[in-house]
Structure formats: C-alpha cells, structure tokens
Chains A and B, each alone.
Chain A
Amino acid sequence: LAKTTQPISMDSYEGQEVNITCSHNNIATNDYITWYQQFPSQGPRFIIQGYKTKVTNEVASLFIPADRKSSTLSLPRVSLSDTAVYYCLVGDLTTSGNTPLVFGKGTRLSVIA
C-alpha cells in the first residue's frame, strides 16, 4: 500500500475554500485515491474517490495531477461543521474490499468563525 503524507493540521475561517494536499509518491497503477472524514468519537465517513484528473460530488472536489503522485481535496466554503480530521488513503480498488484500509495521521482541520 502506498504511503501518504498530509499536513498535520490546518486552520480556516468560515466561508473560505480549503485545499488539503496529500503526497503519495509510490502510488501504483491500479491504486485509487480515497478521502475520509472523521468527527470526534465517530467512525470515518467516505467523502470522495478518484483515479485521475478531477472528481466532484456534492461535498467536495478531488484534483489529481497527471503523474498521480499527489492529490488535493477541495472543500468549498467551509463551515464550522466541517471541523474534523481528513484522511487520504491510496489503494487498489479492486481488492480493497478484502484489504484493510491503512490510515495515516490525517489532517486536523479547524474552522474558525
């Protein structure tokens, strides 16, 4: 499983766009990039997943450059309720159902009013 590196923490004001970048230099050809969100005392929640270029859903966007060695999770106009830890994970989608997810340290996002 490819190792990931993220900033330990980030602060943002409400209403701003937040971009969290994850480095995964050893990403393999079959690997997908998945982001999870975790609130205190709750299980992680799936946010978004992608393989290349850009993916957007109702919650976030995921930007992946051509070399796929990094990815950026973009949260538009954050609110206080977006304060959480965000984890970037990289793995082979076709086998991840039977392969445990390896969580790095994550990025602790604090949104300030």
Chain B
Amino acid sequence: GAVVSQHPSRVICKSGTSVKIECRSLDFQATTMFWYRQFPKQSLMLMATSNEGSKATYEQGVEKDKFLINHASLTLSTLTVTSAHPEDSSFYICSASGLDIPEVGEQFFGPGTRLTVL
C-alpha cells in the first residue's frame, strides 16, 4: 500500500510557541489530505480537509487562524499550530488519498504526531 509519513513523531513545546507538523506522501501524489486530532481514549476527530493548491476546508469549531494548513505540493501538507496552549496537546494524524493509487478511494494514514504543550 501507499506510504504516508509525518514529522516529527513527537514534539514538546512551551505555551505560546508555534509548531509545524509535516505530512508527506512518499510514493504517490496526494491530491487530498485530511488532518485529524485524537485525544486520549477518544476517536479521531476531523479538523480539516486540504486539496493541493487550494485553501483548506475546516470543520466547525476548528479555528483556521490557529491551525494553519498548507498543501502546496502533491506530496506535502503542513499543519502549523500557532500560539500553542496546553489544551492543544493531542495526537495529530494526517491521511492522504490521490492519484495513481490502485485502491480507488482508499485513504492512507500517517503514523501520527504527539504534541505536548507545557
């Protein structure tokens, strides 16, 4: 199957700083990437959908000015958590779908990024 990577795998930062998380499709062109957030013992919650070359679509309740998403190329999407606070501490997961994937419509998930804000 297709491979999606995330970097970093875990990050610890001070309150008020900004953190950038990268999501890469390694062996396919990702026309669409999704960003999810998962709190302990809970399910994945969709934050936003990003299509290459266009602005991301955010879910209700997700602050677009706080969670900046850029999908400038077919292999890379970034999520920047601006002015992070302890309540932003969570597990952030991206998924990708796109062209030249044998399994039509299938999405592939990254390994996730554990963000801890002190």
Residues of A within 8 A of B (CB): 41-46, 49, 87, 92-98, 100-106
When distances are taken between beta carbons in the complex, the residues of chain A under 8 Å from B98 are 97
B109 to A, closest residue via Cβ: A43
Q: How far is the CA of A42 from the CA of B97 in the complex (A)?
A: 18
- The answer, yes or no, to whether B95 is at the interface (CB within 8 Å) is yes
Q: State the total of A-B contacts with C-beta under 8 angstroms.
A: 60
Interface size (B, Cβ < 8 Å)? 29
Contacting residues, chain A, for B13 (C-beta < 8 A): none
Give Cα distance in the complex from A43 to B107, angstroms.
12
The answer to whether A101 and B107 have CB atoms under 8 Å apart is yes
Which residue numbers of B lie inside 8 Å of A, CB to CB?
Answer: 1, 4, 6, 31-32, 34, 36, 43-46, 49, 51, 91, 93, 95, 97-98, 101, 104-112, 114
Closest approach, in angstroms, between the C-beta of B16 and any C-beta of chain A?
A: 26
8 Å CB contact of A87 from B1, B6, B43, B112: B43
**Interface pair A97/B32, CB less than 8 Å apart:** yes
Judge whether B109 and A97 touch: CB under 8 Å: no
Question: With A41-B112, A42-B112 known to touch, is A101 a contact of B1 (CB < 8 Å)?
Answer: no
B32 near A44 with CB under 8 A, answer no
